[in-house]
Structure 1
Amino acid sequence: MSEPLLQLEGVHTHIGAYHILHGVDLQVAHGELTVLLGRNGAGKTTTLRTIMGLWKASSGTIRLEGREIQGQPTPDVARQGLAYVPENMGIFPDLTVRENMLLAARAAKREDQIDVRRLEWVFGLFPAMKRFWQHPAGLLSGGQKQMLAVARAVVEPRKLLLVDEPSKGLAPAIILNMIEAFRELKAADTTILLVEQNFNFARQLGDQVAVMDDGRIVHAGPMAELAEDEALQTRLLGLSLASHQ
């Protein structure tokens, strides 16, 4: 088997006096979408933030393409090809969509330096970004802000995209649009680690799944296997995917 793109081994994270991650072992394969599931407070967001260096691992190893990245400053981690879309989206509301995108395109100082073909591809994923190009991001709807958050993350090619609950609070029609966008990203060989509470969303997109509980990975395997096993869903998550159609 080929080496995973991302690998966590025995990762512990403390936040102040709180011990959040208790030896997380996780692998993310090249070109696949891995879904990280678990109840609220299980440690999913802490895992993403620890990978990005926003919170420091207390111990353990985080490798990207075989190279250790734990302990590196977040900008250095990002320069190695990682992008993070937080649950709160992290957009700049007083800046226009254009200005938000330009800030994310690190190789460009001006709009005309953004890769035109890449930008048109992003517009294909999220047409609203082209329509509201000169609008302040703070005036966008919740769904449009989420689209902008993902669009910023992929305005340049990335090795790995970390996304925290992209469907949270979105209307069903916007969720369908987001599903199609992530399918396009997968087709473009984008590797994604996705935290998600909408299990139907997760089932439609996931190649692999890892389930967290109390700061540990308690299950990992193909998403299709978990989707077909209601007893396993109930044991791991306290409910079945069938109840979230």
Structure 2
Amino acid sequence: MTNALSLEGVHTHVGPYHILHGVDLHVPAGQVTMLLGRNGAGKTSTLRTVMGLWPASAGVLRFKGQAITAMTTPEIARLGIAYVPETMGIFSELTVRDHLVLGARAARRAEDLDRTRLDWLFGLFPALHKFWLHPAGKLSGGQKQMLAIARALIAPCELLLVDEPSKGLAPAMVMKLIEAFTELKRQRCTVLMVEQNLAMAKALGDRVAVMDNGRIVHTGAMAELADDEVLQQRLLGLSLGVAA
């Protein structure tokens, strides 16, 4: 099994705070790896460290075997790592079209966008086609999340980092996201996803890593964790069966 991303003994400090305590994490290529854990366990900090937003203070991060520990965020993005933050990072006054032009990086205008890839994204998220010229601030919460994901995917990427995509969304919108990520799975897109919606984690995850207090405390197949309620209670304090 080839790993797209590896973290080996990674520590992260933010000011006086020691956030990550020797994280060891491997994300297999072509699979969806779920990063689970209680609030404050270090999941978002892990994604931010991968992107170079918070530099690692110790340890090594590798993408496709290449050390990226000392790289800047733009350098990491240019390698093919895309990031959808928990806040989504949507600009209210910009249109859907504007956001995708920004995400494409090489495009200066909508006419420069790869039409085949744009049509593929419209297939995943039809609402973006419908509201193409609408200010993003007028979209619903779920539509904004779809826009944030589409912006990350408009330029081809080899690894997608997604932080709690279902947070605050209605169940019907969560189902639409599950359908979209299921299509990404079929295309063998490598995804590292932080998620609190355990039904979504169960539906999408191939692998799972569980964090606690800035460390990885469990790794394995998502299906095995989903079938073991005792392990779920010990690691997460709840049951996937109840969430599903």
Give the TM-score normalised by structure 2: 0.99
Letter in 2 for 1:47: T
Name the residue aligned to 1:94. 93
Name the residue aligned to 2:128. 129
Name the residue aligned to 2:119. 120
Letter in 2 for 1:158: C
Distance across 2 between alignment mates of 1:137 and 1:196 = 24
Name the residue aligned to 1:62. 61
Shift of 1:93: 1.2
Distance across 2 between alignment mates of 1:89 and 1:194 = 14
| Secondary structure in 2 matching 1:5 | strand
Structure 2 unmatched runs, 5+: none
Shift of 1:189: 1.8
Name the residue aligned to 1:204. 203
Shift of 1:107: 2.1
For residues 63-105 of structure 1, the C-alpha deviation after alignment (integer angstroms, 9 at most, x for no partner) is 0010000121100000000010000101111100000110000
Shift of 1:217: 0.2
Name the residue aligned to 2:217. 218
Shift of 1:59: 0.3
Distance across 2 between alignment mates of 1:16 and 1:69 = 22
Q: Is it true that 1:157 corresponds to 2:156 in the alignment?
A: yes
Name the residue aligned to 1:171. 170
For residues 41-72 of structure 1, the C-alpha deviation after alignment (integer angstroms, 9 at most, x for no partner) is 00000000000000010000000010000121
Distance across 2 between alignment mates of 1:61 and 1:42 = 20
Shift of 1:207: 0.1
Letter in 2 for 1:20: I
Name the residue aligned to 1:34. 33
Distance across 2 between alignment mates of 1:146 and 1:87 = 9
Name the residue aligned to 2:146. 147
Letter in 2 for 1:196: E
Structure 1 contact 34–209 (Cα < 8 Å) conserved: yes
Shift of 1:194: 0.1
Distance across 2 between alignment mates of 1:192 and 1:41 = 21
Distance across 1 between alignment mates of 2:183 and 2:241 = 25
Letter in 1 for 2:215: R
For residues 127-177 of structure 1, the C-alpha deviation after alignment (integer angstroms, 9 at most, x for no partner) is 000000000001101010000000101112100000000000001110000
| Secondary structure in 2 matching 1:148 | helix
Structure 1 unmatched runs, 5+: none
Distance across 2 between alignment mates of 1:3 and 1:235 = 30
Letter in 1 for 2:120: W
For residues 97-121 of structure 1, the C-alpha deviation after alignment (integer angstroms, 9 at most, x for no partner) is 0001100001211211111010000
Distance across 1 between alignment mates of 2:190 and 2:92 = 28
For residues 172-227 of structure 1, the C-alpha deviation after alignment (integer angstroms, 9 at most, x for no partner) is 11000000000111111210000000001100000000000000000000000000
Shift of 1:3: 3.3
Q: Using the aligned pairs only, state the percent identity.
A: 64
Q: Over aligned residue pairs, what C-alpha RMSD do you find?
A: 0.7
Structure 1 contact 3–66 (Cα < 8 Å) conserved: no
| Secondary structure in 1 matching 2:234 | helix
Question: How many residue pairs were aligned?
Answer: 244
Shift of 1:10: 0.1
Name the residue aligned to 2:75. 76
For residues 219-240 of structure 1, the C-alpha deviation after alignment (integer angstroms, 9 at most, x for no partner) is 0000000000000000000111
| Secondary structure in 1 matching 2:102 | helix
